[in-house]
Structure 1
Amino acid sequence: MANNAKTYVNLVFLLAIALSLHVIQGQVQPPIDAIYQFGDSISDTGNLIRDNFIGEHSPFASLPYGQDFFHEATGRCSNGRLMIDFFAEYFKFPYLDAYLNKAGNFSHGVNFAVAGSTALTTGTLALKGIISPLTWSSLSVQLNWFQSYLTSICPDLNDCKNKLANALFIIESGGNDINYAVMERKNIQGIYGMVPEVIGAVKAAIEEVINFGATRVVVPGNFLFGCMPIYLYMFPPNNATLYDELHCVEQLIELSTFQNNFLQKTLKELQAEHPLVKIVYADYFNAMKGLLQNATALGFDETLRTCCGMGDNSANFGITKICGFKGVPVCPNPDKSVSWDGIHMTERAYKIMADWLLQHNILPAISKAA
């Protein structure tokens, strides 16, 4: 019975991809006219490489990042487009430019996400002995940028509310807080206590954009980060590390599940407090799980092995030989791989997850009556 149920779920996932978004934009009422994105490397379209010296000289600022779509590095942490790019394509918008791109086109929204950013401030994390290595531009900084942007386009608060009434807000944050804690401590059980504070920062961000006039807010959960090659490298199988049926680090899957459950509970509470606002949980966890479970049928040869990287292990990952470093190779066909650099995914993996999320998760939720 369990195997039959699993087979059914897999067929549903594959069918959703095959249907390729039969829901048309006209069914989203009222129509979306802009997207405002907050977050980290899952969503950054060029802020980190303009944010500071480290970002400017990071691997994300040069090829092979961007090689398979833009043919140049744009600051996106993949070989091509990200999920936010596919969301923009669906609504027939230009790709969202980074807020720090002074030549950016902000006619249909702005991307405030910064690769490496966290939900908690860098100061708060430092007090916990956790270092944010790439940027100080945490979620609160991104919200300050958003406020400055609003001041530039609508000095009057009521006018701002009118401008934002048909916008879609995506607040994707909180993953790196946990990632950095895991990387520095490896004491997974001790990290559970951070989750309420991290989700509290995300909750505060949601409340802030609602106060500015947001009426539709999408809040992604965490991926199955225990399936990322960097963690398979950090937590090799032994008596202390158990792997699940997908060959992912079981303890980390349980941690991401706990974080996602806590987030969903928080969003339900917020929804009750703001009945006129659509607050949607974006299920990145099951989007990634469905992709991994159906990888062969979807045409992937490699699911847990890094495409751009080098390592003497099954994950093809080495901390001193990461993507973008001199002499580090790229696999012949990134479309056959799920993982791009051991931390981020390939363009094709992002497209499949974006299609599933739009079809089965985001569009139905933002289209129904509040």
Structure 2
Amino acid sequence: MTLTMRFLLLLAVCFFWTVSTSHVPYDSIFSFGDSLADTGNFLLSGALAFPVIGNLPYGETFFGHATGRCSDGRLVIDFIAEAYGLQFVPPYLALTEGQKVQHGVNFAVAGATALDSKFFYDKNIGNFLWTNDSLSIQLGWFKKLKSTLCTTKQDCDNYFKGSLFLMGEIGGNDYNYPFFLGSTITELKAVVPLVVETIAAATSMLIEEGAVELVVPGNFPIGCSAVYLTLFQTPNKAAYDQNGCLKAYNAFSKYHNAQLKLALEKLRKKYPHTRIIYADYYGAAKQLVHLPKHHGFYGGLKACCGGGGPYNFNNSARCGHTGSKPCMDPSTYANWDGVHLTEAAYRYIATGLTKGPFTSPPLKSSSMFDGL
């Protein structure tokens, strides 16, 4: 081997060593939200004595057992963690005394609302809440944990500089509970500013605590979900769009998302040193409805797991209950149980967030070789 070849080989080894040991964009993930992000907190909270999400078929696809995730497998947060080479983010209520948190914590709780539970109890619908662990409770958990992660402001700033904060999805349940109990779209439009303000305030609080990179997702197109299509079905064909979704409820989701984007723009001006990223869950999920077969989904708007009906959602035989059963291949369905999505759908959405185009501004590259 000539001297020149040895020199080139040494350069290649040094280059590979530099790349392979370089840090990934994020060292840890801190997550807040509801059932779209919960990896076990609701189950661990004991809010229900026998929650169906604690048993198969929930978790059947990837884990082979129920984990407290409201799906057949992994969620968006799981795929984001995988994309950045991180371990799955543990639920806060699973932490043990003195446990070191290296890669972040998930505070999300299934059924959680952005607004405090008192808001719903004052409107006489609090008894229908799955949980009282609203966004403010989750933020309280974060503050409590923070004292074990860092002590001084400088320490915290350094620690959170490499952290990705996921603010939700949150807010969907603030509308689901009232909608399912008979509230009208007009009535709930008046609640949107309160929900958005709460999400923005929580995002601001995290920034004040040291967060610099935050993802704030919008709401899904609820008019395409099996539960809404079942509860609010109508013989009026004009109520449906070309994909079979309820136009009025999708318009409501878009209204929430538009208000949320305006609020985030104000936060960006207030905190120019941060990256506040809007995640377009609506746009990503709509692709699965607009071009389902193109993405490998053949179940249409039906739920994979359910007890029959036009959309395979039966309130008296919901997924996991007697009279329901899962489909043979969940990977060909976007909707899992009428309310939540399948692992396959969450994978598609997560890919749209980490690789584009459904984040604005885009997330940092999840590949250390991008741009080389």
The question of 1:221 aligning with 2:210 is answered no
Cα distance in 2 between the residues matched to 1:53 and 1:364 = 37
The question of 1:230 aligning with 2:223 is answered no
Tell me what 1:277 maps to.
274
Listed as ranges, the gaps of 5+ residues in structure 2 are 1-18, 366-372
Tell me what 1:12 maps to.
none
Tell me what 1:154 maps to.
150
The question of 1:191 aligning with 2:188 is answered yes
Q: CA deviation at 1:151?
A: 1.0
SS in 2 for 1:199: helix
Of residues 292, 309, 315, the one that matches 2:311 is 315
Tell me what 1:286 maps to.
283
Which has the larger displacement, 338-347 or 100-109?
Answer: 100-109
**8 Å Cα contact 1:83/1:353 also seen in 2:** yes
The question of 1:169 aligning with 2:174 is answered no
AA matched with 1:115? A
Tell me what 1:95 maps to.
88
AA matched with 1:168? L
Tell me what 2:106 maps to.
111
Q: CA deviation at 1:240?
A: 9.3
**Per the alignment, do residues 240 and 333 of structure 1 end up closer, same or farther by CA in structure 2, a change over 3 Å counting?**
closer
**Per the alignment, do residues 240 and 352 of structure 1 end up closer, same or farther by CA in structure 2, a change over 3 Å counting?**
closer
**8 Å Cα contact 2:90/2:106 also seen in 1:** yes
SS in 1 for 2:101: coil
Q: CA deviation at 1:156?
A: 2.6
Tell me what 2:198 maps to.
201
AA matched with 1:49? L
AA matched with 1:349? A
**8 Å Cα contact 1:97/1:105 also seen in 2:** no
Tell me what 1:122 maps to.
117
**8 Å Cα contact 1:291/1:353 also seen in 2:** no
Tell me what 2:344 maps to.
348
Q: Structure 1 segments of 4 or more deviating over 6 A?
A: none
Q: CA deviation at 1:30?
A: 8.0
Of residues 74, 82, 85, the one that matches 1:81 is 74
The question of 1:302 aligning with 2:299 is answered yes
Which has the larger displacement, 322-331 or 332-341?
Answer: 322-331
Percent identity (aligned)? 38
Cα distance in 2 between the residues matched to 1:364 and 1:265 = 14
Cα distance in 1 between the residues matched to 2:352 and 2:151 = 38
Cα distance in 1 between the residues matched to 2:47 and 2:167 = 25
Cα distance in 1 between the residues matched to 2:360 and 2:182 = 38
**8 Å Cα contact 1:305/1:315 also seen in 2:** yes
Cα distance in 1 between the residues matched to 2:249 and 2:186 = 10
Tell me what 2:6 maps to.
none
SS in 1 for 2:92: coil
Of residues 256, 261, 264, the one that matches 2:261 is 264
**8 Å Cα contact 1:35/1:167 also seen in 2:** yes
**8 Å Cα contact 1:218/1:281 also seen in 2:** yes
The question of 1:249 aligning with 2:246 is answered yes
Of residues 54, 63, 69, the one that matches 2:56 is 63
Q: CA deviation at 1:38?
A: 0.3
Mapping 1:2-13, distance limit 5 Å: none
State the number of aligned residues.
Answer: 341
**Per the alignment, do residues 366 and 29 of structure 1 end up closer, same or farther by CA in structure 2, a change over 3 Å counting?**
farther
Cα distance in 1 between the residues matched to 2:60 and 2:270 = 45
Q: Deviations over 1:8-37 (max 9, x none)?
A: xxxxxxxxxxxxxxxxx99x9982111100
Q: CA deviation at 1:181?
A: 1.7
Q: Deviations over 1:309-346 (max 9, x none)?
A: 012x2101111100111241111111111111000011
SS in 2 for 1:217: strand
Of residues 314, 327, 332, the one that matches 2:328 is 332
Q: CA deviation at 1:294?
A: 1.6
SS in 2 for 1:247: coil
The question of 1:180 aligning with 2:174 is answered no
**8 Å Cα contact 2:35/2:110 also seen in 1:** yes
TM-score scaled by structure 1?
0.88
Q: CA deviation at 1:105?
A: 7.2
Cα distance in 2 between the residues matched to 1:237 and 1:269 = 39
CA RMSD of aligned residues (A): 2.0
Q: CA deviation at 1:102?
A: 2.8
SS in 1 for 2:338: coil
The question of 1:42 aligning with 2:42 is answered no
Of residues 14, 18, 27, the one that matches 1:33 is 27
SS in 1 for 2:30: strand
Listed as ranges, the gaps of 5+ residues in structure 1 are 1-24
**8 Å Cα contact 1:241/1:249 also seen in 2:** no
Cα distance in 2 between the residues matched to 1:120 and 1:362 = 25
Cα distance in 2 between the residues matched to 1:184 and 1:105 = 43
Q: CA deviation at 1:154?
A: 1.7
Mapping 1:13-32, distance limit 5 Å: 31-32=25-26
Tell me what 2:7 maps to.
none
